Structure 1
Amino acid sequence: MGFTMDANAEYLNYIYQNAKMGTDTIGQLLEIVKEKEFLEVLNSQYKEYEAIEKEAERLLKENGQEEKDISLFQKVSAYIMINVKTLTDKSASHISEMLIQGSTMGVIDIIKNNRKYQGAHENIIQLGQRLLKFEENNINECKMFI
């Protein structure tokens, strides 16, 4: 495939960081959530974030690039992580609300990046679209638990 410019690597790193934030957040929530049905949804979301994260990582490595830390996402992740760590209301409803807010910020960000990197390699664009559809789907899944 071969990257013709740094934009491809930047975009892949963005996708990687977004998915990594998802696995980090949901990984913590899996230890907190008690409702069986909600746990199944979170487990499924975790697996897809992980798959996207690994695919972005694979594409980066294939092109001699390293994935970068999730510092770009400090604002969003700090917001979510602080909420996860200080969670007094552990109900599916409250956690769903938090995830919807996080995914909504994610959707806005992904749309901006999909536009910014529309000249990227087809594989990367497809991964960006997969992430966008997945985040939108997460919002709809979480709505059921509000």
Structure 2
Amino acid sequence: MKKDDVEILRGVQKNTEMAMKAINTISEKVLDDSLAVQLSKQALKYSEIHNKALDKILEAKSEPYRTNNVSQMMLVGGIHSNTMFDTSTSHIAEVMIQGSNRGITDMCKHLNHHEHAEDTSLEIAKELMDFEEKNIERLKKYL
């Protein structure tokens, strides 16, 4: 497996880990049952995509993405401060949409900087990006 493939798969791992951490952090503030179910389904799919990327990295005997504790703390702190005074369903959906947009942007950067990647890693990255776009559409009804 090429270095570009590994870097893209690490990007997928990073994005899915951040998404799962965000959902885990914000879930305790969700009062709308429908939104709670939606976020749980998203977390499950993020986990599946994360595991696909991890499996491919391990097959190639490469080093997987290592979680950056500072980034995780900043994410959690940002979510808590952003929802401190507004835990409305609309606001929580907006926060999650913003996160999905950041995920898409980050994956676009990875794809642009690692243009020598091959099919498998590209497919997983595109699966994540497609999923993020669908999440945005699903969350719009809660705005």
Which of these residues, 11, 15, 20, is aligned with residue 14 of structure 1? 11
Q: Distance in 1 between matches of 2:7 and 2:40?
A: 28
User: Given the superposition, is the C-alpha separation of residues 117 and 135 from structure 1 closer, same or farther in structure 2, using an over 3 Å criterion?
Assistant: same
Q: Is the 8 A contact 2:16 2:50 kept in 1?
A: yes
Structural mapping, 1:69-80, within 5 Å: 69-71=66-68, 74=71, 78=74, 80=75
Structure-2 residue corresponding to 1:139 = 136
Structure-1 residue corresponding to 2:122 = 125
Deviation >4 Å, runs of 4+: none
Moved more, 97-106 or 12-21: 97-106
Which of these residues, 43, 57, 76, is aligned with residue 81 of structure 1? 76
TM-score (norm 2): 0.88
Q: Distance in 2 between matches of 1:50 and 1:23?
A: 7
Identity of aligned residues (%): 25
Give, as a single letter, the amino acid of the residue that structure 1 aligns with 2:45. Answer: E
Structure with more contact order per residue of length (Cα contacts < 8 Å, sep ≥ 6): 2
Q: How many residues align?
A: 140
Q: Distance in 2 between matches of 1:120 and 1:77?
A: 31
SS at match of 2:126: helix
Which of these residues, 63, 67, 70, is aligned with residue 66 of structure 1? 63
CA RMSD in angstroms comes to: 1.9
Which of these residues, 44, 51, 54, is aligned with residue 54 of structure 1? 51
SS at match of 2:65: coil
Does structure 1 residue 42 correspond to structure 2 residue 31? no
Give, as a single letter, the amino acid of the residue that structure 1 aligns with 2:20. Answer: T
Structure-1 residue corresponding to 2:29 = 32
**Alpha-carbon displacement from aligned partner over 1:63-110 (angstroms, at most 9, x marks no partner):** 112212244x93x983x4223223222111111111111111221222
- Gapped regions of structure 2 (runs ≥ 5): none
